[in-house]
């Protein structure tokens, strides 16, 4: 599964994209796996209420299942316009 990070999430984790092998059932489970890896992930995901997630390029939420998902993206609330 590809994971993408944008804006300050990308800066805290230190990379824009990575591919991971995971059995995580939901987005929250995936976040827990990442947080357990290294401090930089813990720093990026310290407050998930400050984050948004997209699954296969559609906005979703942290309870959503990951079955069949190929691309997960984490980012702060968007500031377009």
Residue ranges in contact with other proteins by CB under 8 A: 4, 6-8, 54, 57-59, 71, 73, 75-81
CB of 64: closest distance to other proteins in angstroms?
Answer: 16
What's the rounded Cα separation, in Å, for the pair 34 and 19?
A: 12
CB of 24: closest distance to other proteins in angstroms?
Answer: 21
CB of 35: closest distance to other proteins in angstroms?
Answer: 21
């Amino acid at each position: 599964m590809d994971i993408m990070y944008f804006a300050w999430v990308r800066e805290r984790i230190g990379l824009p994209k990575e591919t991971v092998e995971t059995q995580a059932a939901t987005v929250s489970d995936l976040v827990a796996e990442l947080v357990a890896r290294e401090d930089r992930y813990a720093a990026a995901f310290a407050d998930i209420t400050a984050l948004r997630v997209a699954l296969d390029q559609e906005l979703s939420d942290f309870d959503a299942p990951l079955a069949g998902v190929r691309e997960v993206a984490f980012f702060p609330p968007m500031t377009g316009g």
